[in-house]
Chains A and B, each alone.
Chain A
Amino acid sequence: MDDPFIIDGKPFRSRLILGTGKFSSPRIMMRSVQAANVEMVTVALRRVNLNDTSDHLLSFIDPKQYVILPNTSGAQNAEEAVRLARLAKASGISDWIKLEVTPDPRYLLPDGEETLKAAAVLVKEGFKVMPYINADPVLAKKLEEAGTVSVMPLGSPIGSNKGLKTLEMLKIIIEMSGIPVIVDAGIGCPSDAAFSMELGADAVLINTAVATAPDPVLMAESFSLAVQSGRKAYLCGLPQEQSRGQASSPLDGISKIS
């Protein structure tokens, strides 16, 4: 596998993670997952019936083929998030957990303080914790020290399609982080995803932009290509922006003309 994306020692081919909410049907959701060529999908635990393993959403996702990343969306504090994570683990869904603690139901912005608290507990209990955070470099480092396997800073408020409004802070997080940085939330177009990857993000997570597109399957494929494209550009190294034009062919010879 060339250039694998490694989280907690586990290699992934794909640097795109897809959320499963907001789709018109589980069938369209699965077709989008396939078109996006992803290996990891997030599932909101609040939508899953944990007492019933034949739950209709989970029954569509083959756990042998995909890593299911359950999320704690809806939890308003550390205690609720921890409880949800434990339930997910106990019911055999996963020991990966996308930690979301969002006390404000309107903008769903993450509570850093509670997230850090919950992360510390869950890491100790053996979870692979992937926290959703505001683009706060200091919090990102604290979470890394607490033992999370990645950090997932937002580009802009979730579902807003506004792109990378937190750009300057994202750059610092990427520069400072010793664990994978996954840009989560706010990415509206494939070019935002490509841009995130060019900056050096390790992966991106998309949901709304795919699920609410007129053709989610086509959009999923588009995001997959954008992520690959951005990653390749990052590996290659981006050219510096110049203030004036430069000819594509060397002009050195010109100066020698007398």
Chain B
Amino acid sequence: MDAILNKSKLSYQDFLQVLSAPGPYLFKIVQRSRELTLQRFGRTIQFYVPLYLSNECDNACVYCGFNKKRLIDRKTLTPSEIEDNCRNLKQKGFDQILLLTGESLKTAGVSYLLQAVSIAKKYFSFVGLEVFPMTEEDYGKMVAAGADGLTLYQETYHRETYKNMHPEGSKQSYEWRFKSVERALKAGFRKVGMGVLLGLYDWRFDVPRLAQHAINLQKKYWRSEFTFSFPRLNPLHIISNVPHPVSDRDLLQIICSMRLFFPEAGLVLSTRERSGLRDELLGAGITQISAGSRTSPGAYALLEKSGEQFAVSDTRELGEMLARVIEKGYDPVIKDWELDFAGVKSCRSS
């Protein structure tokens, strides 16, 4: 293990060993992860903010707050509401936005999203999407409208669990989802975010498959940047028991092992995790965080509240997070993108 930790590049076998290394090695793994993160990203942390556009959904994912069977207030933002939210978030100081929806093609489908992207692009240099899987052609339209990044989690690579967790709607198809990231890359997305929903199945099974999936894509789509997220199933209200709980220690080992295997990848942590743990993980390998997130549609500018996708644990607003990051010795990076990097020429002049 010591020999592996001294290597400048890990093989896949090395990665598996690091991922399953026994407890006493964790400290050394974290240390190496810190070094690699510092070398690549310096003392900087990037900020982004999620904007939920719609919580309407035709799927019935067992763990999700937007599950169609749940009795929550449903809401899809109108264009002017999207505009209000974008304006508010820009004023708060964000420059990277992630637009999210459930999967309801009738109310928040492709043309709706195209409109949302063009609105967001007026305010933000970087616009990412975390939405339902699309065809390559539709992804291409998103890129042309100004979307720079696409985040899509396989949730789990364990087919049986996948089937049980996604009993209805088009999310039932494992294959369609599995190939989505590749369709997005073909369509020209410059950044793709991948991940598994930690807790659905044994992470020792899922994380290696996630890495393999990414490595295969990275070889072919070498022009695109890959990031990884580490969403941990949050048991509050929605699912009473997490099928395969992931401890804080496990999470730390997963993040740091991924850093060792992917020294150049952005590693993302959302506000699902509580503040103390997030602060610790910042130095260990995480390079991008959100702040002040709301997981119900339009909650940055709307008074009436609709249903949330998951409960936010870290409720600190951007200003407080910036202060915390600076206090930890990091320079917060708000802007790290150019408006027309993904080949969008029209929005600069508009």
Q: How far in angstroms is the closest Cβ of chain B from A112?
A: 16
| Interface residue? B306 (CB, 8 A) | no
Residue of B nearest to A19 (CB): B42
* Contact of A22 with B223 at beta-carbon distance under 8 Å, contacts A46-B338, A47-B333, A105-B264 already known: no
* Contact of A46 with B336 at beta-carbon distance under 8 Å, contacts A105-B224, A106-B264 already known: yes
Q: Are A26 and B338 touching (Cβ within 8 A)?
A: no
Residue of A nearest to B330 (CB): A24
Q: Are A80 and B340 touching (Cβ within 8 A)?
A: yes
Q: Are B39 and A105 touching (Cβ within 8 A)?
A: no
Residues of chain A within 8 A (CB-CB) of B223 are 76, 103-105
Q: Are B331 and A25 touching (Cβ within 8 A)?
A: yes
Q: How far in angstroms is the closest Cβ of chain A from B187?
A: 16
Measured between alpha carbons, how far is A104 from B224 in the docked complex, in Å? 7
Measured between alpha carbons, how far is A23 from B38 in the docked complex, in Å? 10
Q: Are A212 and B340 touching (Cβ within 8 A)?
A: no
| Interface residue? A45 (CB, 8 A) | yes
Q: Are A159 and B39 touching (Cβ within 8 A)?
A: yes
How many of chain A's residues have a CB under 8 angstroms from any CB in B?
Answer: 27
Residue of B nearest to A102 (CB): B223
* Contact of A104 with B329 at beta-carbon distance under 8 Å, contacts A22-B42, A161-B39 already known: no
Residues of chain A within 8 A (CB-CB) of B333 are 47
Residues of chain A within 8 A (CB-CB) of B179 are none
Residues of chain A within 8 A (CB-CB) of B95 are 49
Measured between alpha carbons, how far is A218 from B338 in the docked complex, in Å? 33
Q: How far in angstroms is the closest Cβ of chain A from B179?
A: 22
Q: Are A74 and B337 touching (Cβ within 8 A)?
A: yes
Q: Are B43 and A212 touching (Cβ within 8 A)?
A: yes
| Interface residue? B220 (CB, 8 A) | no
| Interface residue? A83 (CB, 8 A) | yes
Residues of chain B within 8 A (CB-CB) of A45 are 338
* Contact of A105 with B225 at beta-carbon distance under 8 Å, contacts A23-B42, A24-B43, A211-B43 already known: yes
Residue-wise, chain B 188-199 has the 8 Å CB interface mask toward A (1 for contact) of 001000000000
Q: Are B41 and A22 touching (Cβ within 8 A)?
A: yes
Residues of chain A within 8 A (CB-CB) of B330 are 24
Size bracket, chain B contacts: 20 to 34
Residue of A nearest to B218 (CB): A106
> Which residues of chain B (181-229) have a CB below 8 Å from chain A?
190, 218, 222-225
Q: Are A74 and B338 touching (Cβ within 8 A)?
A: yes
Residue of A nearest to B328 (CB): A24
Residues of chain B within 8 A (CB-CB) of A21 are 42, 44
> Which residues of chain A (42-58) have a CB below 8 Å from chain B?
45-49
Residue-wise, chain B 308-342 has the 8 Å CB interface mask toward A (1 for contact) of 00000000000000000010011101011110110
Measured between alpha carbons, how far is A216 from B87 in the docked complex, in Å? 38
Residue of A nearest to B329 (CB): A24
Q: Are B331 and A212 touching (Cβ within 8 A)?
A: no
| Interface residue? B40 (CB, 8 A) | yes
| Interface residue? A224 (CB, 8 A) | no
Residues of chain B within 8 A (CB-CB) of A26 are 331
> Which residues of chain A (65-110) have a CB below 8 Å from chain B?
74-76, 80, 83-84, 103-107
Q: Are A83 and B43 touching (Cβ within 8 A)?
A: no
Measured between alpha carbons, how far is A159 from B42 in the docked complex, in Å? 10
Measured between alpha carbons, how far is A84 from B218 in the docked complex, in Å? 26
| Interface residue? A148 (CB, 8 A) | no
Residues of chain B within 8 A (CB-CB) of A37 are none
Q: Are B338 and A23 touching (Cβ within 8 A)?
A: no
Measured between alpha carbons, how far is A22 from B340 in the docked complex, in Å? 23
Q: Are B335 and A212 touching (Cβ within 8 A)?
A: no
Q: Are A84 and B338 touching (Cβ within 8 A)?
A: yes
Measured between alpha carbons, how far is A105 from B40 in the docked complex, in Å? 12
Measured between alpha carbons, how far is A21 from B190 in the docked complex, in Å? 21
Measured between alpha carbons, how far is A21 from B43 in the docked complex, in Å? 9
Residues of chain B within 8 A (CB-CB) of A212 are 38-39, 42-43
Measured between alpha carbons, how far is A84 from B341 in the docked complex, in Å? 9
Q: Are A23 and B331 touching (Cβ within 8 A)?
A: yes
Most buried by A among B44, B331, B336, B343: B331
> Which residues of chain A (171-230) have a CB below 8 Å from chain B?
208, 211-212
Measured between alpha carbons, how far is A46 from B330 in the docked complex, in Å? 19
Residue of A nearest to B266 (CB): A105
Q: How far in angstroms is the closest Cβ of chain B from A195?
A: 21
Q: How far in angstroms is the closest Cβ of chain B from A249?
A: 46
Residue of A nearest to B40 (CB): A159
13 A-B contact pairs sorted by A residue (CB < 8 Å): A21-B44, A23-B42, A26-B331, A46-B338, A47-B335, A74-B338, A76-B190, A84-B338, A106-B218, A106-B222, A159-B39, A211-B42, A212-B43
Q: Which 10 A-B pairs have the closest CB atoms?
A: A22-B42, A24-B43, A105-B225, A106-B264, A24-B329, A211-B42, A212-B38, A103-B223, A46-B338, A25-B331
New A-B contacts (19) at CB < 8 Å, excluding given A24-B330, A105-B225, A106-B222: A21-B42, A23-B43, A25-B43, A26-B331, A46-B341, A47-B333, A47-B336, A49-B95, A74-B341, A75-B338, A80-B338, A80-B340, A83-B340, A103-B223, A104-B223, A159-B39, A159-B40, A208-B42, A212-B43
